[in-house]
Amino acid sequence: MTAAAPTHEYRPLPIRRPKARVERREDGSVTIEQSYDMPPLWASIPHLFEARAAQFPERDFVAKRVRLAEGGFGDWRRITFGDAVPKIRALAQAFIDRGLGPDASVMVLSGSSIEHALVMLAAQYARAPYAPISTAYSLVAKDFAKLRHVFDLCRPKLIYAEDGAAFEAALKSLPLEGVEVITLTPAPGLMTTPLDELLATLVTSAVDVSKDAIQLDTHAKTIFTSGSTGAPKGVIQTQRMMVAVVAQHDALYTKDDSDGQADAYLNWMPWSHVGSSNVVFADVINDASTLYIDEGKPLPGQFAESLRNLREISPREFGSSPIFFAHLAAAMEADPALRDHFFSRLRYLSYSTAGLSQDVFDRLQALAVASTGKRIPIITKYGSTETQGATIVSWPLEVIGPIGLPFPGITLKLAPVGDKLEIRAKGDTVTPGYLHNAEATNKAFDDEGFYCTGDAARLYDPEDVSKGLVFDGRVTENFKLSSGTWVSVGNLRLDLIEALAPLISDCVIAGHDKDYVAVLAWPRPTEAAAVAGLPVGTSLSEMIASPAVRRHLEAAMAAHNAIAGGLSRRVARLVLLEEPPVGEEIADKGYINQRATLARRAELVKALYADQPGEGVIVA
């Protein structure tokens, strides 16, 4: 897609322009790395944290709103860097006293909180691998199978579950012999230890002895993959990986403290996700910034809390998922005061490579210009649980698609796999492997030691590498039609969201071993109401049934098909989904899990491919 030339200048982007080195090989592979030098690595995250706490003891470290007894959230509760240090050290001493360490890990079941942050850092002081577990495994799942699986891999000696009552059923599903359960509020039917008891521990020299024994290759965390293609795998995160993120950012980002205020990060994504647990925390600690925990989510009935927070907090940079930005753009279009507050200090926006639609991209730019008279740099980063940040766009994007070039310290290899170029990565931020899974570890790396991501990319301009890479879907996500034609799911999904804009917020592509491509799509309620000529607030089922909505989609599908090219890009049928994504259909970090959605909605998929499509199926 070609964008029109921007008519307004950009706000300055505090990221250095790329300096790429490229090697083209005879086997068709390409290696790319940056010429920027990496600064020396910190000894560990605990060493960095204590240094920043000594420099900025009065700065707020983490803040979270108080949960009210009657529901909802009250004022912010905060802890400063200086106040956090003695609490972390007391917890670290308690962990050491209990025999925790390299062979005895800490598992955390509950979500983001001030206490969780203290436990996370205390485990690192004690050199006890820390594993944050998706709350869905305990609070949404019915059989706790994934929870038992990750428990068996981690083999924890201590579990932290903040609200004992909420996690009691999940805890009782685990073999807890020899495992101490720590809670903030007790579980009525389970023996637990109050966290306050650990916080009262008298600190000895053992804490500093343990901290000084940390090595760069010390196993610091275990972050689990989503399990969308099988059982979750425990990705080992070393101190080297985490401090290398700090070094990457110091090498590439430029500092701007001209307004004299500490940066503020508002983050809703769970700490079981590497982007929050490692990358966001690296920036918060290194910059002595404040992490505001957002209890809102880009889901029906939960986004209002995020908007409340954004009316109070003015971030300097803001990163989130495409679905969050779709909700935010609509909210700012309806509320100029929210828009102006959001853009008042903002230097840039960053979206994940799950894929922002061009429609939302353009609306965000229009909002920025209306508020500030300038365009806001919008960039993206690419990475995985195994690599952390692998690439970054270090220039303002004008269209969606590019994923930039490697961070300093990372070497990327584009390796031919079928008709795609697979992204492979090597460097200090790349995992050494999977916990207790030598087979998966061996399969994950090629013969040169590059981690094989399973994602594909291509050069935006084969003659000019400085323009970066373009995400080209997942090698493992694509499928063949019955004709043998490959369907590139990631690219088609993004094109369809754009082609069916503004009516569609997201979609899932079906067609494995079928004669044609079909689509399950979620409508945008406000836009659907406008197309249907119905008042906002009309039931979604009534909007979906509207003849005007069907005609709009039929025309949009026909227009897409007219220029789509081959069978792999043409869409024959579509059904609108009334029920929002639930459970494993939406990953913790906000993107739609294609496989889980198709499996859960198998009956709808069957209806799409019936000889006589049902009333709800729209035919191109």
One fold for 20-41+251-474 and 45-215: yes
Q: Give the mean model confidence (pLDDT) for residues 285-310.
A: 94
- For the stretch 93-149, pLDDT in tens is 999 999 999 999 999 999 999 999 999 999 999 999 999 999 999 999 889 999 999
Q: What is the third-level CATH fold of 479-619? A: GMP Synthetase; Chain A, domain 3 (3.30.300)
Q: Is the pLDDT of residue 354 over 80?
A: no
Cβ-in-10-Å burial (0-12, 13-18, 19+) of 610 comes to: exposed
Task: Tell me if 471 sits within 8 A of 489, measured CB to CB.
Answer: no
Q: Between the CA of residue 171 and those of 149, 162, 164, 168, 299, what are the distances in Å?
A: 13, 12, 9, 5, 27
Domain segments of the chain: what residues? 20-41+251-474, 45-215, 479-619
**What is the three-class DSSP state of 283?**
helix
The closest of 37, 6, 63, 20 to 405, measured between CA atoms, is 20
For residue 179 the two structure tokens come to 């495992």
Q: Amino acid letter at 494? A: L
Mean pLDDT within 448-463: 92
For 373-437, the three-class secondary structure string (H helix, E strand, C coil) is CCECCEEEEEEECCCEEEEECCCCCCCCCEEEEECCCEEEEEEEECCEEEEEEEECCCCCCECCC
Residues in the chain: 620
Q: What is the pLDDT of residues 508-538, one digit of tens each?
A: 999 988 999 999 999 988 888 999 999 988 8
Q: Could you give the C-alpha distances from 353 to 283, 330, 510, in angstroms and in order?
A: 20, 21, 21
pLDDT, mean over the chain: 92
**299 vs 34, residue with greater confidence:** 34
Tell which CATH architecture fits domain 20-41+251-474. 3-Layer(aba) Sandwich (3.40)
Q: Is the pLDDT of residue 151 over 70?
A: yes
Q: Quote the DSSP letter at residue 254.
A: P
Per-position DSSP letters for 310-349, written without gaps between them = HTT---SEEEE-HHHHHHHHHHHHH-HHHHHHHHSS--EE
Return the half-sphere exposure (C-beta side, CA atoms, 13 A cut-off) of residue 338: 17
Q: How is domain 45-215 classified at the CATH fold level?
A: Rossmann fold (3.40.50)
Give residue 590's pLDDT: 59
- Helix ranges (DSSP H) in 70-163: 81-97, 114-125, 136-139, 145-154
Gap between the Cα atoms of 155 and 162, Å rounded: 19
- d(C-alpha 401, C-alpha 15), whole Å: 19
State yes or no: pLDDT of 157 exceeds 50.
Answer: yes
pLDDT of residue 555: 94
Q: What is the pLDDT of residues 177-225, one digit of tens each?
A: 999 999 999 999 999 999 999 999 999 999 999 999 999 999 999 999 9
- Give the pLDDT score at 2: 46
Work out the end-to-end distance of the chain between its first and last CA atoms, rounded to an integer number of angstroms: 23
What is the C-alpha to C-alpha distance for residues 262 and 287, in angstroms, rounded to an integer? 8
- Provide the pLDDT for residue 228: 58
Taking residues 598-620, report their average pLDDT.
90
Q: Identify the pLDDT of residue 260.
A: 65
Question: What are φ and ψ of residue 396, in 5° steps?
Answer: -65, 125
The answer to whether residue 582 scores a pLDDT higher than 90 is no
Q: Which of 492, 471, 513 is nearest to 574 (CA)?
A: 492
CA–CA distance, 405 with 416 (Å, rounded to integer): 18
- What is the pLDDT, as a whole number, of residue 1? 43
Tens-place pLDDT, residues 258-282: 566 788 999 999 999 999 999 999 9
